[in-house]
Each structure stands twice: as structure tokens, then as C-alpha cells.
Structure 1
Amino acid sequence: MESQPTSESGQSITPTFGQRVSQHFSGKVEPAAGYMPLLTCCFATGLTDGTVYNAYGTFVSMQTGNTIFVALGTSGQNNKPYGWARSLCSIGCFAIGCIAFARMHKLIGGSRLRRTVTFSFFLQTVCVIVATAIIQSGIIDGRYPPFDPTHINFTELAVVALLSFQAAGQIVNSRGLGVGEVPTVVITSLVCDLVSDEQLLAGVTKNGKRNRRFIAFVLTLLGAICGGWISKSTSSVTPSLWLVAALKAVITLYWIDFVPWRRLLGRM
């Protein structure tokens, strides 16, 4: 049994509710606790990019494709008017997001603290909700396919900026939690690490990193398929983005973990 703190007089001291909350959120989370949330983020990445690209002609997570779009735009080969501007906006906001989330983690106390990851995913959730609400309100056209693909509307950059900024939080968290094999926003390096693994054909229980890389790839692919299918069937981008917001909200609640579920399950 755990001993209670005692005062100088020998009487036990019961921590207040505020002290228990502070202690809970000041605790460190183990890398294994990040596996499920980060794999879920892979699905959210595919869902987001599979939706936003069809509507606005750019990615908000996969910045390799955006870099090529910007390069093609400079030579006048971008087939969408000012498509390079959307891609450049995405790259810039993603970079700003990486800086902001990394600095925020340091200011809060460390990347592995429960309060850090909780606030990080809460902020990501808010960004997705705000972006989706802007489209839902009609300020930005969210119809799919777009009413006029050649129409230039720079207000779309607001959605691109918010979604790119929050996407940066995913990879910053994967690095901070020490789960680098699941970057959540990069497929190229993930596939390279997967197929070049010397233990690629090892048993299912023998290579955890290989398993997570494979699952991350499949979930990203499935997310993109679902994003395209949902957009096509609903003729709107908002259902997919609301789903992304819901996934991010669930991950935030997962990190809060104030009710000790594992302990309760262990007693059953």
C-alpha cells in the first residue's frame, strides 16, 4: 500500500483536489501511450489531405507535394490559378506551427508531460473546429466539387493556414514522445524505413516499429480514401473535417486520462 504524506506532527496529509490535478498533469507519459493517438493522427492526416486537396488544390500535411506545386508554379506550369500560393501558404504555416508547438512544449515544461500533450491536441482540435466552422458558415465555399475550379478566392487561405498549422503539432508530438517511426504527416520516409528494415519479415510480435509503420501507412491510405468518398457522397468538405475535429477531441480526452481507467480495469 502507498504511504500518505505526513506532517511534522505525524498526521497524514491528504492532497487537495487541486494538488491532485496538478500532480496528474505534471506526470510524464510513456512513449507506448502515444502509439494509439499518433496512429489515429495518420488516419486524420489522410482524411484531411484527401478532402482539402480535392476542394482547394493543396495539401495541408504532406509538404513534399506542396513543394513541387510551388516549383511548378514558378515556371507557369501549375494548372490551377494561384495554386502555388495555396501551397506556399501551407508550407509557411506548417513551418510556423512546428516552431510554435516546439517552443510551446518547452515553455510548458517538456514534450512528455501530460499537460503538454493535452494542451497541444486541444489546440489542434480548436484549429480544425474553427476552420470547419468558417466553411460551414458559408464564408468560404465548401462544396465538392468546387463550383468553379478556375475561380480565385484568397479567403480559402484561412482554412489552409489553420489546418496546416495544426498538422505541425502532430509531428512535433511524435518527436517529443519518442515515437519517430510514426511521423503522422510523412509517407516517404515512413515507407523507406519500413521496407529497409532488416527485420521486415520477423514475426508479428518481434518488431513493434515495423508493425506501427505498416499500420500508419495503411491508416493514412484509408483516411485519404474515406476523405475522397465522403466528399463525393456528401458534395461537401465539412463532414470529413468535422470527423477530423472529433478524432482530435477524442485524442485530447485520451491524454487527460484523469479517471484511472487502467487501474479500474486491473481490479476487474
Structure 2
Amino acid sequence: MSDDDKDYESGTRSAGAVERWRVHLMQDVDGDQSTFPLVAYCFMTGLINSVIFSAIYVWGAFQTGNTVQLSLALARLFNGTHNYEFQLPDRFALCSVLTFLAGAFVGRIGDKMGAKTRAWMALGTFIQTLFTMAAALAIWKSGQPSIANARSEIAWSNALSFVCVGFMSASMGLQGIMGKRVNTQFTTTVVLTTTWCELMAEPSLFKLRKLVKSRDHKAIAIFACFLGGFVGRAILDSVGSAGTLGVGTGLRFLVTLSWIFVPAKKGGAKK
């Protein structure tokens, strides 16, 4: 075989490998077999919120509370005391809401790539990883303590702590929209109030001797979030906010890799 023939054969094999990877990445993931990364999403919700709530009593993912907090801040303008101060916790709540929405908006990139493709699920989770890493670096450079002494004495106050809150909330917003698009029993990996309600309304709630996916996955999601909060606080007490977010960065990267190996949904390839 001549050198030209060998080069041609090698090039053909390389092109074939690239095409196989392209097809692999552009296949839709099978939601029924996406349990591990979605449970990891729920775990990260607990871990991230343990960091932010321990420092400033504001949520990075549960925007219902932040929205009501902002409404109360606005209502104070009309209570006759003429207190027009925009208090620090309210500023953090506004920062969290706005950056959460910005992160969720980034999720619209998936509409172009295919919201359930391996490529987007891996890329989107990698973006969450970068957001979490940026939050870790910001709070590390800020020099702020990790845990508040009381609700009236929150731990964070400088500009870099706002940057940290922004990146944490953005990662939660992006995670939330990605989990929603997979459309499984883990539809909401961010806010579990709906999951609690659906679990209580589950017809098979007390059929404990049989596996019921709709019930069991909801229970797993709730437990994973609880476990994430518990583990997050335990790490926080040992290594502080930056270290805890560093651990979160590593976990998110592992979830990024896991999406590549989730089995494809039948007929899920994109052209």
C-alpha cells in the first residue's frame, strides 16, 4: 500500500470517528435513564443554598422567598416611617433574582442545539461548573466570613460577595431550566415545593411494597436536596465558603462528564 493510500485510509477513519462522535453528542438523552445527573442536580441545589443562606439568609435557587422579600422591602416605603433605605439583605435578594433569571435565559441556547441532546446537557452543565468556580474565586478574594452570626448581622457585604451571589444564582437558574427541559419526575431540580405537593398527592404513596417510579423519584429528589444542604453545611464549617464552592465545582464537572454517557432516547438523533 502506497503512502497516499495509507494517508487516505487514516483520514477516512478520522472523519468517521468525528462523525460518530457528532452523532453521539447530538442524540437526545433518555430521560428515564438520566436519574444520576438529575439527582446530582438536586444535591447541588442543597449544597449551593447551604452556602448562600448560611452567610446572608437569602436563597440562591428558591426565588419565591426572594420575590416576597423584595415585595416587603417595597411595602416599607408606605408604612409611614419614611424609611427609604434599601437594606443589604434586600439588595442581595434582588441580585439573586436578576442573576437567576439571567442564568435561566442562558438555557435558551439549548433551544438551538437541542434541549435534550448530550451536547447541550454536557455544555450547559459545564457552564454551571464555570459559574460555580467563579463564585468560589469571588468569595475567596472577598475575604468575607462564611457564616452569619445572626439575621441582623449577615456575613457578606462587599462587592465581590455580590459577584459570588450572582454566579451562584445564575448556576441555579441554568440548572433549573435544563432540568425542566428533560421533562422527567425530576422536572424541578431547584424548587421542591411542587415536588412535595405532588408526592403527597401521589396515588401510590403508601404502596411501599412495590416500586413506583413517579413516587420514588420525587422522594429521591427531596432527599438529595436535603443531603446536599447537610453535606454543604458540614463542609462549610470545615473549609469555609470558597472551599465548599470548590467542592461544588468538582461535583458539577463530574456531572458534566456523566451526561456524555447517558443512553440515548430511541430516535433521538439530530440532523
Smaller-chain TM-score bracket: 0.7 to 0.9
Q: What does 1:63-142 correspond to in 2, within 5 Å? A: 63-76=63-76, 81-101=87-107, 103-108=108-113, 110-136=114-140, 138=141, 140-142=142-144
Of 148, 163, 178, the match for 1:158: 163
Aligned to 1:247: 251
* Distance in 1, Cα, partners of 2:71 & 2:102: 20
Q: CA deviation at 1:212?
A: 0.9
Residues 38, 170 of structure 1: 8 Å contact kept: no
In structure 2, the CA distance between the partners of 1:194 and 1:150, relative to structure 1 (3 Å rule), is closer
Higher helix share: 2
Q: Percent identity?
A: 23
Q: CA deviation at 1:249?
A: 0.3
Q: CA deviation at 1:205?
A: 4.2
Aligned residue pairs total 240
Aligned to 1:145: 147
Q: CA deviation at 1:146?
A: 5.0
Residues 52, 60 of structure 1: 8 Å contact kept: yes
SS at match of 1:28: strand
Q: CA deviation at 1:254?
A: 0.7
* Distance in 2, Cα, partners of 1:229 & 1:81: 29
Q: CA deviation at 1:230?
A: 2.1
Letter of the 2:159 counterpart: F
Residues 103, 169 of structure 2: 8 Å contact kept: yes
Residues 110, 120 of structure 2: 8 Å contact kept: yes
* Distance in 1, Cα, partners of 2:17 & 2:57: 50
In structure 2, the CA distance between the partners of 1:65 and 1:32, relative to structure 1 (3 Å rule), is same
* Distance in 2, Cα, partners of 1:150 & 1:229: 18
Q: CA deviation at 1:200?
A: 0.8
TM-score, L = length of structure 1: 0.81
Alignment gaps of 5+ in structure 2 = 1-11, 78-85, 264-271
Aligned to 2:9: none
* Distance in 2, Cα, partners of 1:22 & 1:99: 26
In structure 2, the CA distance between the partners of 1:141 and 1:64, relative to structure 1 (3 Å rule), is farther
Q: What does 1:28-39 correspond to in 2, within 5 Å? A: 28-39=28-39
Pairwise CA RMSD of aligned residues?
A: 2.4
Alignment gaps of 5+ in structure 1 = 1-12, 261-268
SS at match of 1:144: coil
* Distance in 1, Cα, partners of 2:22 & 2:229: 39
Give deviations 1:144-182, integer Å, cap 9, x for gaps: 235973773233221111111111122212221111544
* Distance in 1, Cα, partners of 2:225 & 2:188: 11
Q: What does 1:1-268 correspond to in 2, within 5 Å? A: 16-76=16-76, 81-101=87-107, 103-108=108-113, 110-136=114-140, 138=141, 140-146=142-148, 149=154, 152-203=157-208, 205-234=210-239, 236-257=240-261
Q: CA deviation at 1:204?
A: 5.5
In structure 2, the CA distance between the partners of 1:107 and 1:209, relative to structure 1 (3 Å rule), is same
